[in-house]
Amino acid sequence: MASKDAQNQRSRSLPGFLPGASDPDHDLHISPSNPGNQVWQRGPPPPGSLPPGLEYLSQLDLIIIHQQVELLGMILGTETSNKYEIKNSLGQRIYFAVEESICFNRTFCSTLRSCTLKITDNSGREVITVNRPLRCNSCWCPCYLQELEIQAPPGTIVGYVAQKWDPFLPKFAIQNADKEDILKIVGPCATCGCFGDVDFEVKTINEKLTIGKISKYWSGFVNDVFTNADNFGIHVPADLDVTVKAAMIGACFLFDFMFFEHSLAGL
């Protein structure tokens, strides 16, 4: 508890991208349906102007992303469009994400493919669009590296996730709409989990202070070897700007494509 308090205190001192913290217990409504199938009902938005639909993120310090198993792809051995459930720490679904891409790209460009991920809330309204162009992915190629564009609402660019060249570690930057770096993400030297979680640390621009992490959870030998179903957790300060949280959701999708799309890579 003391460690969490200290982390929250450090995060509130970071300028620019951390707005004033809202009440962490602000109007959480739980659907009385089956607990395993719960969805988060929207309460009154916190003070201030938020992109429509992103008020769900304003109180969260943990966002869980669960990739759905594609049985058709498992049976036929083909690459199908990815689908993800985005949940809060109670397991309540807050968003659903679907990849839009053409079969040719999925077959011949594989994990480098260009695609669009459309994120909708529980009412079916599209609230976030993630655009991924076809880019390179090599530690030996310092140009034309991976990049995502984040729109919230669709049509309004709020940020980017940009890969930074490094010969040893996977490094990325969370950028604002003007492509200015506001946070860094640093992954491990080896993204092979070896039967454990893989953590990407979220750091300040100078990489001296860690304010959170994005974890790829190890889901067991059978799941990781024989399916492409990956699970991620985003651990960040609750009062982090919602557009930055949206960018981190996009970063999870990018990490899934780059490092864990093929089953054996997720071990």
Residue 30 has pLDDT above 90, yes or no: no
Task: Name the amino acid, one letter, at 173.
Answer: A
Confidence (pLDDT) at 253: 93
Residues contacting 3, CB < 8 A, separation 6+: none
d(CA 213, CA 168): 19
User: Model confidence at 145, in pLDDT bands (50, 70, 90)?
Assistant: confident
The confidence score (pLDDT) of residue 258 equals: 85
pLDDT over threshold 90, residue 1:
no
| Residues 151-180 pLDDT 10s | 999 999 999 999 998 888 999 999 999 999
Q: Domain boundaries in the chain?
A: 66-261
| Mean pLDDT value of segment 52-57 | 92
Reference 242, options 90, 17, 91; nearest CA is: 17
5 pLDDT tier (thresholds 50, 70, 90):
low
- The 3-state DSSP class for residue 205 equals coil
Residue 230 CA from chain centroid, whole number: 12
Q: For 180-199, write each residue's pLDDT tens digit.
A: 999 999 999 877 655 678 99
d(CA 217, CA 198): 7
> Can you give the pTM of this predicted structure?
0.75
